[in-house]
Chain A
């Protein structure tokens, strides 16, 4: 059974940092692209970043470029999101999702339950 379990969320002051983790199990982690998707309170879904199987390609939404870094450790079946210079608008539930890359398209077939990040003084 595919499982994705996020951790690391919490309350942080503006300008602070936080590192999210996602522990994957039930599939060959190193064979899949992975993504972080967030959802601000009462708002819709927003893709944040993704990373290729071997970590050689990473992409980000414009609003987090230069502040967030996605990474992975295939030996530990884990995905990470290092978030620096956090802003109030980064407040959201952050989901880890398995990213299915096929010819000309992508979708998310499995999601974790999410971890809440609150940026507030």
Chain B
């Protein structure tokens, strides 16, 4: 089955740029989606189709995907961005399985 690898944690100072990676075999050939989850809350879709933002998501959130790595970039990080972030792809070769990365805890210093 397809495996997505994320760093367990990323730390960034307020106002700086955070980059959260998601590694997978030839992930650049798949569409990657990103979710933000704050403590005690349901996940929220923040990036879909590699780099599109749902309505209501700030432009500070962006995404890219190439080769074996997809990246979620958060510019001008704010305290309210502190959360867990998960990448997700659809593995059509494996019984229609929807696969999540292990998640990355973003800490705003």
**A binding-site residues for B, Cβ under 8 Å:** 35, 37, 44-47, 50, 57, 59-61, 95, 99-100, 102, 104-109, 111-114
In the bound assembly, the distance between CA atoms of A61 and B98 in angstroms comes to: 9
Task: Decide: A59 and B43 in contact? CB cutoff 8 A.
Answer: no
Contact in complex: A95, B102 (CB < 8 Å): no
Interface presence of B53 (CB below 8 A):
no
Complex CA distance for A112 and B48, rounded to whole angstroms = 19
What total of chain B residues lie within 8 Å of the partner, measured CB to CB?
Answer: 28
Q: How far is the CA of A61 from the CA of B89 in the complex (A)?
A: 14
The smallest beta-carbon distance between A33 and chain B, in angstroms, is 10
Among A45, A50, A100, the residue within 8 A (CB) of B35 is: A45
Residues of B within 8 A of A114 (CB): 42
Q: Which residue of B lies closest to A107 (CB)?
A: B33
Asked if A105 and B102 make an inter-chain contact with CB atoms under 8 angstroms apart, the answer reads no
Cα-based distance from A35 to B86 in the complex (angstroms):
17
